[in-house]
Structure 1
Amino acid sequence: MTKPAKAHRNALYAAIALSWTADRRATLLTFVGFGLRPALPVLIAYLVKVMVDAAVVGDTDLLVRAALGIGTAAALSAGSVPYAVELSTRMIESTAVLVDRKLMTLTGSLPTVQDLDDPEVLDRLEVLRQERVRLSEGADAVALVLGAAVRAGVTAVVLAVVDPFLLLTPLLAVPAVVAASRMQARRTAALDTAAADARLARHLYEVGSAPRWSSETRLFGLGPAIRRRYHEAAERADRHVVGALGRALLPVTAAGVLFAAGYIGALLLVTRQFAAGGATLGEVVLTLNLVTLISIQVGQAVQFLAFLHQTVDASRRLLSLESYVENSVARTGGDRSAPAVLRYGISLAGVGLRYPGSGRWALRDVSLHLPAGSVVAVVGVNGAGKSSLIKLLTGLYEPTEGTITVDGESLTGFRPGAWQARTSGCFQDFVRPEFTVATAVGVGDLATADDPDAVRAAVRHGAADGIVAALPDGLATPLGSSHANGTELSGGQWQRLALARARMRPSPCLLVLDEPTSAIDPLAEDVTLRRYLAAARLTAARANGVTVVASHRLATARAADLVIVIAAGAVVQFGSHQRLMADSDGPYRELYERQSGAYS
């Protein structure tokens, strides 16, 4: 078996396995129902032939038995439809839930977030999002094709009994099926080409329709411009697919004309035999019915095979993503455990970072040592590389060059997720989970998420106790519009909860705060951060951990043991606040004095 054929077979099995895993009973009955029911119309056509011939010769008993057979077959065919559709629908819905969960699991299993910044990976995910409905309908598509094959086989047998030459009629349908298959292959390639435009269109749709952006879009009158750009991106994406299908239209049309010629030929053949006395009236009626059924079957077979082709293609994409995730985990993961307590600290040697698809270095030639138990402030203008450094320290990104070690052990030598389990943090793009307050905070440490005392302590240490006390049901208050009685929070309130969530882990080896007070009222910002850092020192003492805070408020750097000054992706100064302030020509002192004057 060739590699493409083997890949096709594996993808087919994987598509069926999804439905089998989701609902075995519904999948099995769908195969039985969709596989056998299509043979009933052929049986009915044959029994009509028996009735006609019985009527011609006056065989009343045979006429009655044939009529009863037709009634039974018709009742089975019609009566089984609602049940079959209900089973198929239940199977598809169960599989859709499984597929969505699988996609979330695969995305979440990537050991670093840099894969999710890679345009190629994003294009893969975008096409899978578009085609994921095909994955949920995999067994349904296979059952439909199986039914079409069974019906074609039974039809061929009956036609051969009338006249072997009539077998040419279903054979003439093969070119139409092949042409339709090639058309679907073109569609698959077009989806890959259109993925970037489709991803842009989806983003613009979210911007133009999501409530979180509605204030700005209305204030600036952006609606028409966003809709226009959405239309342009969607039209570009659609143009690729329509163009590919258009180029395949001629072969499909030619194949259809060939089958139509065979259809007419079969009708002429059987009517000529009847006129010459070589066929009974029942055989003429049977042939007319079956040839007409074949015409319908060809259209359905083309449709079902196109459906199956799309399913197999989506399944192949899913298998490819699974392989990519496995390789990514194998590539990045070691076999060592992360330390529970730091002895020396975290060191960077010649570290550089370049984001996927970018020719510019976000960081370059960074060499630092962050001592165990220290609080380190990272300062610099927007875009200097502060967030990039934090991504590297947390292991969410691998350095493009250089090494990062923890107590002398390379960060890449730890088991996947081991170092993240020993870290905690609050990021600029913090999550706003619409759960209860207790759950939204508690998920910062799943081991103690259900411990009310641990949650209350994290809320207190995160300076969010005042916010929680003001909510209608305290920690039990549901948050967000996902709940009928959910409470909406401001950006600053959400950030306070994010800070509390970062305090759930009792003894992290690394605590990172990336602009942790950017959404908090300026009057409360400095007080909040100082209070937070003071509590963080106590927590870090248990693991002798390192706390790294990147903040635009340079006044907080005075509370840090060390300050890293970053400019244009390079570390330009490193030392204590006092030592950096003593350098009258240094960038840190200039930034600090300028900001102090502005706040004064």
Structure 2
Amino acid sequence: MSSEDHPLPSSWRALARTLRLGWSASPGLIAVAFATTVGAALPDVLIAVALAWLTDAVISGAGVEMVVAAVVLGVLAALSWLLRVVSERADRRFADRTAVFMEAHVVRLQSGIPSLEHHERPAYVDRAQLLRDHADTLSEVYQYLFQAVGAVLRLGLTTALLMTIHPLLGLLCLFAVPTALVSHWRGGSEHALEERVGHHERLARHFFLLGTKASPGRELRVSRARERVREGRHRAWAVRHRIMSRARWVTAVWQAAALTVFAGAFVGSLVWVSLGTGSAAQVVLLLTAGSRLAQYIGNILGQVHFLRTIWLEGGRRLLWLEELAAAAERRSVTPAPDRVGAGITLEQVSFRYPGTDRRVLDEVSLHLPAGAVVAVVGENGAGKSTLVKLLTKMYEPDTGRILVDGRPLAEIPADAWRTRLSGAFQDFARFEYPLRLSIGLGDLPRAEEEGAVERAVERADARILVERLRQGLDTQLGNTWAQGVELSEGQWQKVALARGYMRDHPLLLLLDEPASALDAETEHLLFERYAERARALRGRDHITLLVSHRFSTVRMADLIVVLDGARVIEQGAHDDLMRLDGRYAELYGIQARAYRVRNAGE
């Protein structure tokens, strides 16, 4: 698929969706914010009238009118201030509440999409990154929309006041049209360019995390590569800044030219009224209202610019993510099976990752029989982990299909299918919770069950790990937390293994390089124990899939599948493959000899 398969929705649809979400977060605060923000327009505009009235009273020497005008001016100023304070506080409370609501909504959408495509396709990653960066600004859409409405109301009332001096002064608004058009064009062009150079920003942030996180810190210091990382971040930001700066200078020149047109018209109007038959009160009204006219136009342009930012960087991407999630849900139509009778079959399955041309799996045909322990072996990059991703519906095959007892896996809802799976993965997560919960997340409804967690620990042979921790299963993981404990890579992997064993009777148990942080002998012993447990569940239609790049550790499997060059080149039991004397036998012998030499050297 190309990035055009899911284009960004229109700005107006995105704005409407953002407004609906904001309304659902806090309708009461929206009503208060609207009344105070828009209501403040009337006293703001009438202040110019009161000043003109006060000027006329001073010149004519009318004492009573002078006092009344001063009192009215004070009341209007106080009312304007009060409405502005209430409006700001309502906006702030609404923004805080809605920011949490919007960010939670974005998290739900991203984590709810069944596939990993939006995490790995470059075009999608750029959009998702910008959406995460601007998720909090979505909460401010009502605030800026109300301010824009208030500014438009102020502009209309101010223009009407100016026309009381002379009808031609209403034409001042026409001279603001170029400014509005340029501002609209400027915001759109800059933000479109910002999306196109988003990969430079992501690269700079990647270098920033490398330089500030503890995990790569040791290697950077030993290899003395810290300066290289700093230079990489600087270059990435410099490239982005150079491209964006050039565009901003061009748009700024056009913006300045448009503002110059309006400023010239306003100064000319002021000279015309001053030298003509205008009274002192009219001159004051023009000065006050005219200066505010420029301010109101500036406010409108600022609100429009910000709203356009929300549409392009927030609202449109939010709606795009919602539609992407909805489309993913619509693909699945049949319920997940309760059992596997015959097994899982791959028919001519091919797959390549988004944005690449190389096939990671190429016309793979394979049958995983029910009740069997199946091992998938191959050198790094052979497609082993990709096969696991397809079986867990993280991706759909480009061609071919996967069948579960003859039913297409593509038609089974991802969430329902995954409740029937369990396992541990090569790129496992490090959940910095108390150990009990970090393991219990493998079966969330039973995460607090003492017996379930204990059984998972036993299945993963992680009892020694638990006993070595001072607080056992109640130990806080992660040394950045109070009384937290940092685990080694192998210990973290043991926790991930235990988490993968939380479900008692999964239809498919996937162990993708579950002991990659351990030595070959330990991995071999662990795989033997896994195979024994799997065979004990043979009558439960249980399929166990072991993935490893170590050929010498999977000989106990009922079926060994050898992947090489994105294809299945051999399959069978260990003894059968050794008699075949093909690729498996060759690599098995090489790794076995290397292991014997290493042990002899020790």
With the shorter chain as reference, the TM-score category is over 0.9
Partner in structure 1 of residue 408 of structure 2: 410
Separation in structure 2 between the aligned mates of residue 90 and residue 223 of structure 1, nearest angstrom = 43
**1:162-561 equivalence runs, <5 A:** 162-273=165-276, 276=277, 279-313=278-312, 314-330=314-330, 332-333=331-332, 335-481=333-479, 483-520=481-518, 524-538=522-536, 540-541=537-538, 543-561=540-558
Contact 1:554 1:592 in 2 (8 A): yes
Counterpart-to-counterpart distance in 1, 2:452 and 2:406: 32
Distance 1:312 1:561, change over 3 A: same
Give me the whole-angstrom Cα distance separating, in 1, the residues matched to 2:520 and 2:79.
74
Question: Which segments of structure 1 move beyond 6 Å, counting only runs of 4 or more?
Answer: none
1-structure distance, mates of 2:318, 2:390: 29
Cα distance in 2 between the residues matched to 1:47 and 1:82 = 22
The amino acid across from 2:424 in the alignment is C
Structure 2 residue runs of 5 or longer lacking an equivalent are: 1-6, 597-602
Q: Deviations over 1:510-558 (max 9, x none)?
A: 11111101123556433333334433444x4464121101123333312
- Report the AA paired with residue 289 of structure 1: T
Q: Which letter maps to 2:299?
A: Q
Cα offsets for 1:243-270 (capped at 9, x unmatched): 3333323332221111011110221122
Match of 1:66 in 2: 69
Contact 1:340 1:543 in 2 (8 A): no
Paired position in structure 1 for 2:595: 599
Please state how far the C-alpha of 1:444 moved relative to its aligned partner.
0.9
Does structure 2 conserve the Cα–Cα contact (< 8 Å) formed by 1:15 and 1:311? no
**What residue in structure 2 maps to residue 142 of structure 1?**
145
Residue of structure 1 in register with 2:3 after alignment: none
Letter in 1 for 2:471: D
What is the aligned partner in structure 2 of residue 44 from structure 1?
A: 47
User: Which stretch has the larger CA shift, 443-452 or 492-501?
Assistant: 443-452
Distance verdict in 2 for CA 1:543–1:237, change over 3 Å = farther
User: How many angstroms does 1:481 deviate by?
Assistant: 4.3
Q: For 2:91 and 2:128, locate their aligned partners in 1 and report how far apart those are by CA, in whole Å.
A: 27
C-alpha contact (below 8 Å) 1:15/1:139 kept by paired residues: no
1:29-76 deviation digits (Å, cap 9, x = unpaired)? 222222222443322221111112222233333322222222222223
Write the letter of the residue equivalent to 2:554: A
Distance change in 2, residues 1:300/1:549 (3 Å)? same
Give the 3-state SS of the residue equivalent to 2:461 in structure 1. coil
Q: Return the letter of the residue paired with 2:75.
A: T
Q: CA deviation at 1:133?
A: 3.8
With normalisation by structure 1, the TM-score equals 0.93
What SS is found at the alignment partner of 2:21?
A: helix
Bigger CA drift: 84-93 or 45-54? 84-93
Decide whether the 8 Å contact of 1:36 with 1:150 is kept in 2.
no
- Deviation readout 1:404-424 (Å, 9 max, x if unpaired): 111111111212322222111
Opposite residue 514 of structure 1, the aligned amino acid is D
Native 8 Å contact 2:329 2:413 kept in 1: no
**Aligned mates of 1:38, 1:480 — CA distance in 2:** 54
Matches within 5 A, 1:25-104: 25-104=28-107
Q: 2:564 maps to what in 1?
A: 567
Q: Give 1:441 deviation, angstroms.
A: 1.0
Q: Matched residues in 2 for 1:81 and 1:437: separation?
A: 51
Q: Report the alpha carbon displacement of residue 364 of structure 1 after superposing the two structures with TM.
A: 1.1
Q: Give how far 1:81 is off.
A: 4.1
Q: Could you tell me how far apart the structure 2 residues matched to 1:26 and 1:211 are?
A: 43
**Which region of structure 1 is more displaced relative to structure 2, 25-34 or 357-366?**
25-34
2:583 and 2:412 mapped to 1: Cα distance?
37
CA distance in 1, matches of 2:521, 2:585: 23
Q: SS where residue 378 of structure 1 aligns?
A: strand
Amino acid at match of 2:296: Q
Does residue 1:589 correspond to 2:592, yes or no? no
Q: Give the drift of 1:80.
A: 4.3
The AA in structure 2 aligned to 1:184 is G
Q: C-alpha distance in 2, partners of 1:38/1:216?
A: 60
Partner Cα distance (1:475, 1:65) in 2 = 77
Superposed CA RMSD: 2.1
Number of aligned residue pairs: 588
d(CA) in 2 for partners of 1:9, 1:149? 19
CA offsets, 1:217-247, max 9 Å, x none?
A: 2221222211211122222223333333333
Partner secondary structure for residue 370 of structure 1: strand
Query: Quick one: distance in 2 between partners of 1:325 and 1:345?
Result: 30
Give 3-state SS (helix, strand or coil) of 1:377's partner. strand
